[in-house]
Amino acid sequence: MTMKSDFYGLADTLCAKMTGSEVLLLNFNGEETDFVRFNMSQVRQPGHVQQRYLRIELIDGQRHTSATLTLSGGSECRNGRDESVDLPRSIAVIEQLRQRLTELPEDPHLLYNTESTSSETQSDHRLPAANEVVDQILRAGIGHDLVGILAMGSICAGFANSLGQRNWFASHSANFDWSFYLRADKAVKCAYAGVEWKADQFQAKVDGALEQLSVLEREPRTIPPGNYRVFLAPGALADLVGMLNWGSLGLKSYETKQTSLLRMITNKAALDASVTLRDNTADGVTANFQSQGFLKPDHVELISAGTHADWLVSPRSAREYGVTANGADDWESASCLELAAGTIPQAQILEQLGTGVFINNVWYLNFSDRPACRITGMTRFACFWVEDGQIVAPINVMRFDETLYRALGENLIGLTQEREMILDAGSYSRRATSSARFPGALIDDFHFNL
């Protein structure tokens, strides 16, 4: 039995048990993932995970409550018949929710989809067998200390309600997050991810990382605080702009005046005209529906040509502020944040950087002045000092403090033509499905304060 048929069968039985004005919402998440951990260029921990979760939400009027349980996906023999072991457990949870529901107050902001907007999206499986990918990784690590984790396989999501709606989504992706370690705090951090695995593209990543690893062997330089011309690689730029997902892209953050983009609305502040930022669900690996049953549009334009375009609107915010929801979940953050490509060829980056700082990775990011969209953070791993278009030496860790209005506004020189697909490597409780697609950015007058 497939995950989809198992979920739909369970949903049909549970939804049929609703009485009176009760409404049932069911959200399913499942995965079949190969996880392989590497250290010192050897396989240290291979494993295969298959898991399924079901979130049950019971609604009666404006009262609602929910619970999540792990599904076995299996059956046991009773009286000569195979019966699902998940069904009685799910029915017991619903009974507990019924008892709890009578003691809860009404929720004035509760909103769920009452139209039957069923859908099914299943991407093609274009991944090779895990052992083929592992063999290529092991070859890439010969003679070096490669450490990292490979996660590849299928991720599924489903929605069902007692009003007759059914939605299913399945995607297949691979994500290899690794470093070539040199010594102490010196390493080149890399990632290769996507819905298919292309050996030549992975090898190009490896070759570029090994070139940077050889530079790390040189004596590092300490750069004094000040303003520098910098290049932010796609991963670094994605982390920096990704700070907007910390409560700055949703309607609720605007209405409560907590968004770091508030000046775009109140003061008409703008970024460079080349900056277009969207939540592009259509090209991501996350489900195209959300937990209350509303479908997500293929994309939501958040910033268009440097100016604010739209907010992510959850059902709760839609009910509270009297607007239409646009597929956002309760936390109103982007699941596939995408920045439009620019015009600078990646091959010309060092030449156009000239003299300055090449930043591969950043960490310890936080807002230092949220209303000004000012972000502080530190450089990490392989970051370099560049002179006359040539990488000269690695740099010791530096702290920066800069606003997105300057970095992607008045001081933005340009974005690269090439973009990188970045998948969230998180696997707490289950494999993460958020992603990003970003170019690199060449920026002038970028401020380092330590």
- Phi first, then psi, for residue 238 (nearest 5°) are -60, -40
Last residue of a domain, one of 213, 228, 263: 213
Q: What pLDDT is stored for residue 82 in this prediction? A: 45
- CATH number for the domain spanning 103: value is 3.30.2290.10
* Residues facing 399 on adjacent strands: 378
Helix (H), strand (E) at residue 22? strand 22-39
For residues 286 and 366, membership in a common domain is answered with: yes
Q: Is the pLDDT of residue 80 over 60?
A: no
Domain finish residue from 165, 191, 213 = 213
Considering the domain architecture, whether residues 141 and 206 belong to the same structural domain is answered as yes
Residues 184 and 86 in one domain: yes
Cβ proximity of 42 and 134 under 8 Å: no
Instruction: For residue 269, give the 3-state DSSP assignment.
Output: coil
Residue 56 shares a structural domain with residue 110 = yes
Tokens at 190, concatenated: 């890399």
Segment 431-450 shows an average pLDDT of 96
pLDDT in tens, 282-328: 999 999 999 999 999 999 999 999 999 999 999 999 999 999 999 99
**pLDDT classification of 65: cutoffs 50, 70, 90:** very high
> What is the number of domains present in the chain?
2
Q: pLDDT digits over 99-136, tens only?
A: 999 999 999 999 999 999 999 999 889 999 999 999 99
Whether 240 contacts 365, CB under 8 Å: yes
pLDDT in tens, 240-274: 999 999 999 999 999 999 999 999 999 999 999 99
Point out the domain boundary residue: 162, 197, 213: 213
Tell me which residue range forms the domain holding 153. 3-213
Given a cut of 60, whether residue 161 has pLDDT beyond it is yes
Which of 407-444 are b and which e, b meaning 16 or more Cβ less than 10 Å from the residue's Cβ?
Answer: bbbebbbbbbeebbbbbbeeeeebbbbbbbbbbbbbbe
Q: What is the pTM of this model?
A: 0.94
Q: What is the pLDDT of residues 202-227, one digit of tens each?
A: 999 999 999 999 999 999 999 999 99
pLDDT, tens only, 356-380: 999 999 999 999 999 999 999 999 9
Q: Tell me: do 254 and 206 sit in the same domain.
A: no
CA distances from 201 to 197, 212, 345 (A): 8, 17, 17
92, pLDDT greater than 60: yes
Same domain, 203 and 261: no
Residues 190 and 252 in one domain: no
Q: Mean of the per-residue pLDDT values for the chain?
A: 95
Q: 179 to each of 174, 192, 202, 292, 361, how far by Cα in Å? A: 17, 11, 13, 39, 12
Contact 308, 255 (CB under 8 A): no
Dump pLDDT digits (tens) for 389-435.
999 999 999 999 999 999 999 999 999 999 999 999 999 888 999 99
DSSP assignment string, 338-401: EE---SB-GGGHHHHH-SEEEEEEEEEEEEEEGGGTEEEEEEEEEEEEEETTEEEEEB---EEE
Closest of 125, 144, 238 to residue 191, by C-alpha = 238
- Contact between 409 and 306 (Cβ < 8 Å): yes
Q: Tell me the CA end-to-end span of the chain in Å, nearest whole number.
A: 58
Percent of the chain scoring above 70 in pLDDT: 98
Q: Which H/E stretch holds residue 405? A: helix 404-405
Cβ partners under 8 Å of residue 229, min gap 6: 353, 354, 355, 356, 357, 413, 442, 443, 444, 445, 446
Q: Are residues 222 and 196 in the same domain?
A: no
209 plus 226 within the same structural domain: no
Report CA torsion sign: 264, 269, 271, 275. Answer: positive
* pLDDT of res. 35: 97
Is residue 261 located within the same domain as residue 152? no
- In a shared domain, residues 275 and 136: no
* Amino acid identity for residue 64 in this structure: H
Average pLDDT in the 66-70 region? 97
pLDDT of residue 76: 56
Strand residues in 251-315 grouped as ranges (E)? 277-280, 299-304, 307-308
Whether residues 189 and 316 share a domain: the answer is no
